[in-house]
């Protein structure tokens, strides 16, 4: 959108310079040759250097040439303003692009962590299942029974932590 505004400004500037030059040069060529040469040199320099902040200096007493210089200065200010807006927009676009890439990286890491947590939870299910079977077969109060209760408690705690990661 800003690029389109800048392009429109450049087209308007080009048209204004072309139309203004065609109308004024014909009349001014008969009256004043030095200011015309200065205007042509100025226009070429702006086109070559792309320095739109430069201003036309006129030493002529001709009111028409001074009006033309004022119009050109105004158009150059507009082009410069649109150029600055475009640069700002481009900078903002690049910043948003970097933020999007960072978000995508974090999202990928989140998916990876979720996948690992899901697989870990599946392993804990197997551990809990076998530990429960062995505990049911063990004699209550025996060392094996107590050890299996500790294994089940730790596996259930790990399963709870994994569930927190997944949600």
Provide the CA 44 distance to its chain's centre, in angstroms.
34
In terms of phi and psi (left: phi > 0; alpha: psi -120 to 50; beta: otherwise), the region of 141 is left
Q: What is the pLDDT of residue 63?
A: 60
The predicted pLDDT at position 4 comes to 73
CB 82 within 8 A of CB 6: yes
Reported pTM: 0.45
**Count of Cβ atoms closer than 10 Å to residue 126 Cβ:** 10
Q: CA–CA separation, 127 vs 133, rounded Å? A: 10
pLDDT tens for the chain, 167 residues: list them: 766 776 777 777 676 667 766 666 566 555 656 666 766 777 777 777 766 555 655 555 556 556 666 777 777 777 778 878 888 888 888 999 999 999 999 999 988 988 898 899 899 999 999 999 999 999 999 999 999 999 999 999 999 988 888 77
Whole-angstrom distance, CA of residue 68 vs CA of residue 58: 10
Cα–Cα dist 70/65, whole Å: 9
At residue 17, the pLDDT reads: 66
- Three-state secondary structure call for residue 10: helix
């Amino acid at each position: 959108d800003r690029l389109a505004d800048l392009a429109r400004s450049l087209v308007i500037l080009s048209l204004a310079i072309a139309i203004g030059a065609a109308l004024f040069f014909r009349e001014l060529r008969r009256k004043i040759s030095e200011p015309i040469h200065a205007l042509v040199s100025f226009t070429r320099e702006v086109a070559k250097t792309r320095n739109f902040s430069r201003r036309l200096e006129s030493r002529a007493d001709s009111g028409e040439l001074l009006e033309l210089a004022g119009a050109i200065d105004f158009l150059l200010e507009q082009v410069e303003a649109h150029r600055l807006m475009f640069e700002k927009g481009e900078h903002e676009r690049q910043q948003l692009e970097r933020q999007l890439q960072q978000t995508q990286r974090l999202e990928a890491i989140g998916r990876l962590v979720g996948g690992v947590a899901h697989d870990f939870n599946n392993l804990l299910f197997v551990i809990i299942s076998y530990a429960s079977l062995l505990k049911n077969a063990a004699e209550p109060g025996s060392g094996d029974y107590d050890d299996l209760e500790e294994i089940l408690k730790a596996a259930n705690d790990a399963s709870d932590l994994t569930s927190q990661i997944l949600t």
